[in-house]
Amino acid sequence: MPKDSGIGASSKRREDVRFLTGAGNYTDDINVHGQTYVHFLRSDIAHGRIKSLDTSTAEAMPGVVKVFTGKDFEGVGGMPCGWEVTDKHGAPMQEPPHPILAQGKVRHVGDPIAAVVADSLEQARDAAEAIDVDIEELPAVIDMKAAAQDGATLVHDDLKNNVCYDWQLGETDDAKVNEVFANAAHVTTLDLVNNRLVANPMEPRVAVGEYKRGTDEYTLFTTSQNPHVIRLLMCAFVLGLPEHKVRVVAPDVGGGFGTKIFHYAEEAFCTFAAKACNRPVKWTSSRSEAFMSDAHGRDHVSKIELALDADNNFIGLRTNTFANLGAYLSTFSSSVPTWLHGTLMAGNYKTPVIQVNVKAMFTNTVPVDAYRGAGRPEATYQLERVVDKAARELGVDPIALRRQNFITQFPYDTPVALTYDTGNYNGTMDKLEAAADLAGFAARRAQSETKGKLRGLGINCYIEACGIAPSNIVGMLGARAGLYDAATVRVNATGSISVMVGAHSHGQGHETAFPQVVADMIGIDESMIEIVHGDTSKIPFGMGTYGSRSLAVCGSAMVKATEKVIDKAKKIAAHLLEASEADIELKDGQFSVAGTDKSVAWGDVTLTAYVPHNYPLEVEPGLEETAFYDPANFTFPSGAYACEVEVDPETGKVSIEAFTAADDFGNIVNPMIVDGQVHGGIGQGIGQALLENCAYDENGQLLSASFMDYAMPRADDVPFYGVDHSSQTPCTHNPLGVKGCGEAGAIGSPPAVVNAVLDALNSGGKAVDHIDMPVSPSRVWAAMNG
Amino acid sequence: MYSFEFEKPSTIADAVAALATEEAQALGGGQTLIPTLKQRLAAPSKLVSMSGIPEMHGVCVEDDGSVSIGGATSHATVAREAAGSYSALAALAGQIGDPAVRNRGTIGGSVANNDPAACYPAGVLGSGATVVTNTRQIAADDFFQGMFATSLDEGEIITSIRFPVPQAASYQKFLQPASRFALVGVYLARFAGGVRVAVTGASEDGVFRWSEAEQALNKEFRSDALTGLRVNPANMIADLHGSKEYRAHLVSVMTKRAIEACI
Ligand SMILES: Cc1cc2nc3c(=O)[nH]c(=O)nc-3n(C[C@H](O)[C@H](O)[C@H](O)COP(=O)(O)OP(=O)(O)OC[C@H]3O[C@@H](n4cnc5c(N)ncnc54)[C@H](O)[C@@H]3O)c2cc1C
């Protein structure tokens, strides 16, 4: 029986009412009295030395308040990187400065050179055109392998080379790895590219900085997934401001997908300039600006080798990856190709020997950082593509090969630093085989062939690590932040509840799902509970939302705080019922004395807490509790996906005919929201697999700089999805037994799509081993005719 | 955008007069021009809207059976109102962009702009239509002069376009995955006097007639009539979305599909 409220109910997303009726409050909706507008003059050259920069004409233009250049920020810190990676020789990564406005050099198309603050945006743009800048063009560093060569042009003159770090995980003894491969019965090798993506949330980035001279207080309104993180980084590392004088607000945010985690120069600029100009400063990114200033995602070039024994057991795995970091280190960029990627290379398989090698490169491109899945899609794509290729080379069933190598005993220590607490990979595969009607595939293929189409089936398994944790371990791995979260449960006198959470909702539906948990614990109606988030002046602290962590980490803090509230309320109830606290039970919003018919309602207890006339002397008045929660381990969602495609052999066009996902997310609070998260993730994964491609030419010009050339998935590019999450192995170490579902779809779908296309081509007699994403019509046609 | 004057005349004569100002420019649906202005890539002194001129709107069938479409008629209107009189052209209009673009964008704007990947130029050239302006009538074969170039003079307005209606016609559009303009689009029209094949999206020189295919089809109108025939890849566009060879190949595939649709 589906529930109609509380944990397990598909409660309708209450926030959608305001989103769908135009009543949302996005950052661009915020306008502050006396506000000015900033326009950034951005480099149209990928790499060059600024010879001269003259802003005098611009300064005299109508409406101009002030023109800023790199000089204005010489005494100010640069944009920080939040994760120090140690290379395989024990040395820290190379960490070049990342100025707010260019200092001496420009390093990618879009790098801000100057900023004009004016009364209107058009005046700011007019003045920016009058800035006289002379840039001596330098050779652009674009290709990662060329960038790694000795003598390559340097992106950062003060570094020894363009390699940020040369990192390794897993087996450190090369001889041992070589021996495994030498003794293998079969080795499958694959070279592949994980294409660079632009996240393109529907809402572009916006920042409004405000400064109150009277109280020396700053407010930054910004499109962020984690306002406290922005406040901490901006105050402690960039501007040197006292945190208690700075408020950061991230109101309704129209999608983030990772790209709104990071602290961006424009945020620090607006905060700084608000004081310098003594007027509020607003910046709204245009879509064109977003393409060249939002952190991009992915961009790995990898070689992966899989060794199998004579019985087709996986015995060794080795990867060599070049990871593009772009021109500067974005906030969490260094962690993505390393601890969020290398650690996932075991996947769902008990491969005993694994060696992961990653060279992270500086290039004259937009910085690259986390994008939905962050590192885990790159790992999964390599692994699941090579497994599929191995199955084809060996002539064995790809599902059977996977099942044979599945990890089945938990907890399981991988050779790449993780301990999977629980999982059931055969369980999700069983669900997939049924839900996707794999038995009926042959008939569907025959049907497609009568229409002259090639039909393919692609299978994929994934494991991911969510709710990145615990803080003491990530600290050892180089994180410069803790990864706990916090919640305050504030019960009002009349019994309604405000829950202040550190997680930030920008599409995830927290405002609906989080109350379901509290309502369930107390036994009151969901509508009595409201979630407050996105404002450092309202919530205790929060590390924000990314890495599918909100419910697993912040939700756990909320559960702990609610437990504290209930404990205290029981003391009050015991006093009112003249019973012992140990005998008080809470059910359906009623406190009762066990074994009697004596009870008192939730609302009477909460009122008593605030009107403490008849009240236990040893208990403080009021009913409000805060909890911080630091997880003991990651959570490990997993799943099996099936994609069916049709390929038009005449044009190379691929259409997705069916897509089925069987996920294990542990316990589920709101099945409808989980379905939606999986749908969105698969949509983005299909986008990566078939359509999206952020491409630079050899001079560092962005070829896909608008939606005219950057193909976003549209509704008719994706099918109706089948989603099954009935195979559940609850997380063993958080109170709700939840794992996280936000990224799964984007991790699990790209290899399924590519595997399906290759299956289709091979069924048509085309022995095609691999096509790089996006698997566009022209690439499919070229592969078929190559 | 930069600032500009705006006029919305109600007659062609007033529009012509308004366009006499230096750097004045006609505004159709603004689907190409407005984004260009927003990016500050153009700086007209004045925009003269075509939208308030009644005689430039609508679809009608002339006495000789040809279909005449006002220069300021939206794609959506053509998709709807030409469905009975010239269904292949109506189908072309119905495949342009999305509903918002079709409700704003106009046939005159599209043809005047002559984007190398636009659909209407193929329809106009493939039909052998006549572009009617405030001063003259221009045969389609003389009108299109290469990418974004036409034989229109400064300030000249497309007031209508007159299409002879073929016995059968079909537009086959292969979508560029991002923009959904034509990566390759083929408009094929079969008249009593012969077959015309116009190709858009493919060539460095903009829309063109594939005369070898026309000749082959004039000999025999069969889907395999083009076997072995291919446009020269050397003149094709190469970009992120397809190589010269791929585009040349698609021209053959789309033409074959257009033939099949006409049989
Ligand atoms: C998202 C999107 C998708 C699109 N997809 C497609 C597609 O799939 N296929 C396709 O073909 N097109 C597509 N277009 C382009 C669309 O069809 C435009 O409407 C068209 O190119 C321009 O027409 P307009 O009326 O908007 O002209 P405007 O943008 O107003 O003007 C374009 C040019 O024509 C001139 N002009 C306008 N009217 C006249 C006139 N009557 N006489 C002389 N000159 C005139 C203007 O001065 C200007 O130089 C798309 C556009 C967008 C924004």
- DSSP string computed for A536-565: TTTSS----S-TT-IIIIIHHHHHHHHHHH
d(CA B113, CA B119): 11
Q: Is B74 in the pocket of ligand 1 (CB under 6 A)?
A: no
List Cβ neighbours of B68 (8 Å cut-off, separation of 6 or more). B59, B60, B61, B62, B132, B160, B161, B162, B163
Atom of ligand 1 nearest to the CA of B56: 41
Which of the four pLDDT bands, split at 50, 70 and 90, describes residue A786? confident
> Residue A2 has what pLDDT?
66
How many other CB atoms are there within 10 angstroms of residue B228's CB atom?
7
pLDDT at A1: 55
pLDDT, tens digit, 9 for 90 and up, residues B229-257: 999 999 999 999 999 999 999 999 999 99
| B contact test, residue of A61, A647, A651, A780 with most B CBs within 10 A | A651
Residue range A698-717, pLDDT digits in tens: 999 999 999 999 999 999 99
Q: How far is Cα A663 from Cα A462, in angstroms, rounded to an integer? A: 9
Over residues B204-208, the mean pLDDT reads 97
Q: How far is B22 from chain A (nearest CA, A)?
A: 22
Whether residue A245 contacts residue A212, with contact meaning beta carbons closer than 8 Å, is answered with: no
Give which of A375, A765, A766, A394 is closest to A548, Cα–Cα: A375
| Cβ of B78 below 6 Å from ligand 1 | no
Q: Is the minimum CB–CB distance between A709 and chain B shorter than 8 Å?
A: yes
Instruction: Choose among B57, B42, B61: nearest CA to B12.
Output: B57
Q: How many CB atoms lie within 10 A of CB A154?
A: 17
**Averaged pLDDT, A96-125:** 98
Q: What is residue A468's predicted lDDT score, i.e. its pLDDT?
A: 87
3-state secondary structure at position A417: coil
Do B5-163 and B168-262 agree at the fold level?
no
**Ligand 1 neighbourhood includes B157 CB (under 6 angstroms):** yes
- The Cα A666–Cα A376 span in angstroms is 19
* pLDDT value for A503: 96
Closest CA to A221 of A350, A28, A5, A378: A28
Distance CA A375, CA A332 (A): 11
- Cβ of residue B253 closer than 8 Å to a chain A Cβ: yes
Q: Is the peptide bond before A774 cis (omega within 30 degrees of 0)?
A: yes
Q: What is the pLDDT of residue A421?
A: 96
pLDDT of residue A750: 98
Amino acid present at A260: K
B243 touches chain A (CB under 8 A): yes
Which of A778, A780, A781, A784 should we substitute to test contact with B (largest number of B Cβ atoms within 10 Å)?
A778
B1 contacts in A (CB within 8 Å)?
122
Cross-chain residue pair B177–A711, CB shorter than 8 Å: yes
Q: Which residues contact A62 (CB under 8 A, 6 or more apart)?
A: A123, A126
The C-alpha of B47 sits at a distance from chain A's nearest C-alpha, in angstroms, of 19
Distance (Å) from CA B83 to ligand 1 centroid: 21
Q: Is B47 on the interface with A (CB under 8 A)?
A: no
Mean of pLDDT values over A719-744: 96
Instruction: Give chain A's mean pLDDT.
Output: 97
Q: How large a percentage of chain B has pLDDT more than 70?
A: 100
Find the length of chain B. 263
**Helix, strand, or coil (residue B243):** coil
Q: Whose CA is nearest to atom 31 of ligand 1?
A: B109
Closest CA to B59 of B41, B39, B76, B44: B76
CA-CA distance, A307 to A184, in Å (whole number)? Answer: 6
Closest CA to A556 of A485, A611, A652: A485
Query: Structure tokens of A184?
Result: 């293998």
Distance (Å) from the alpha carbon of A701 to chain B's nearest alpha carbon: 13
For ligand 1, mutation pick of B53, B103, B110 (most atoms within 8 Å of CB):
B110
User: What's the rounded Cα separation, in Å, for the pair A449 and A681?
Assistant: 30
To test ligand 1's pocket by mutation, which of B106, B173, B199 has the most ligand atoms within 8 angstroms of CB?
Answer: B106
- Cα of B49 vs centre of ligand 1, distance in Å, is 13
pLDDT given at position A3: 81
Is the CB of B187 inside 8 Å of chain A's CB atoms?
A: no
Q: Is B74 helix (H, G, I), strand (E, B) or coil?
A: strand
Query: Per-residue pLDDT averaged across A342-353, rounded?
Result: 98
pLDDT at A397 > cutoff 70: yes
Matching residue, tokens 């140990």 = A582
DSSP state of B10: S
Does the beta-carbon distance from B246 to A704 stay under 8 Å?
no
CA A73 to CA A67: how far, in whole Å?
A: 12
Contact B240 A703 (CB under 8 A): yes
- pLDDT given at position A471: 92
Decide the pairing of beta strands B158-163 and B46-49: unpaired
Contact A296, A196 (CB under 8 A): yes
**E strands, chain B, in order:** 5-7, 24-27, 46-49, 59-61, 67-70, 130-133, 137-139, 158-163, 168-175, 182-191, 194-200, 208-209
What does chain A come to in residues?
786
CA–CA separation, A523 and A527 (whole Å)? 12
Q: Ligand 1: which residue has its CA nearest to atom 21? A: B110
Report ipTM (2 d.p.).
0.96
Decide if A161 touches B, using CB distance below 8 A: no
Question: Per DSSP, what are the bridge partners of residue A357?
Answer: A168, A320
Evaluate: CB of B126 within 6 angstroms of ligand 1: no
3-state secondary structure of B242: strand
CA of residue A130 relative to chain centroid, distance:
39
Sign of CA dihedral A142, A148, A154, A158: positive
From the CA of B63, how far away is ligand 1's center (Å)?
29
Q: What are phi and psi of A423, to 5 degrees?
A: 165, 165
> What is the set of domains in chain A, with CATH numbers?
27-138+202-255+260-293 (3.90.1170.50), 296-469+633-785 (3.30.365.10), 484-629 (3.30.365.10)
B241 contact residues in A (CB cutoff 8 A): 709, 776, 778
CA A708 to chain CA centroid, nearest Å? 26
Separation between Cα atoms, residue B59 and residue B78, nearest integer Å: 7
Establish if A5 touches chain B: CB-CB under 8 angstroms. no
* A572 φ, ψ (degrees, to nearest 5): -65, -45
Q: Which atom of ligand 1 is found nearest the CA of B159? A: 41
DSSP β-ladder status, B24-27 and B46-49: parallel
Question: What is the spatial distance between Cα B180 and Cα B199, in angstroms, rounded to a whole number?
Answer: 16
pLDDT of residue A4: 86
Tell me what the mean pLDDT of segment B12-28 comes to. Answer: 97
Contact B241 A288 (CB under 8 A): no
> pLDDT tens digits for A630-675?
999 999 999 999 999 999 999 999 999 999 999 999 999 999 999 9
Full DSSP string of B198-238: EEESSBTT-SEE-HHHHHHHHH---GGGGTT----GGGB--
* B201 within ligand 1 shell (Cβ under 6 A): no
Is residue A298 within 8 A of residue A367, CB to CB? The reply is no
Distance CA(A66)–CA(A451), nearest Å, equals: 65
Q: Is the CB of B165 under 6 A from ligand 1?
A: no
B191 DSSP assignment: E
Fold of B5-163: 3.30.465
CA angle A155, A160, A165 (to 5 degrees): 85
DSSP category for residue A581: G
Residue ranges covered by each domain of chain B: 5-163, 168-262
DSSP SS3 for A781: helix
For residue A34, pLDDT beyond 70: yes
Q: How much distance in Å is there from the Cα of A734 to the middle of ligand 1?
A: 57
Q: How confident is the model at residue A223 (pLDDT cuts 50, 70, 90)?
A: very high
The pairing of beta strand B182-191 with beta strand B168-175:
antiparallel
DSSP A611: S
**Can you read off the two tokens belonging to residue A102?**
């260019």
Q: Tell me the CA distances in angstroms from A270 to A210, A218, A265, A699, one per residue in order.
A: 8, 10, 9, 31
What superfamily would CATH give domain B168-262?
CO dehydrogenase flavoprotein, C-terminal domain (3.30.390.50)
Q: Cβ of A599: how many Cβ atoms within 10 Å? A: 18
| CB A220, CB A32: distance < 8 Å | no
Tokens linked to A415? 């050779």
Residue nearest to atom 28 of ligand 1 (CA): B30
Candidates A125, A691, A781; nearest CB to B177: A691
Among the listed residues A87, A69, A195, the one whose alpha carbon sits nearest the alpha carbon of residue A131: A69
**From CA B252, how far away is CA B226, in angstroms rounded?**
8
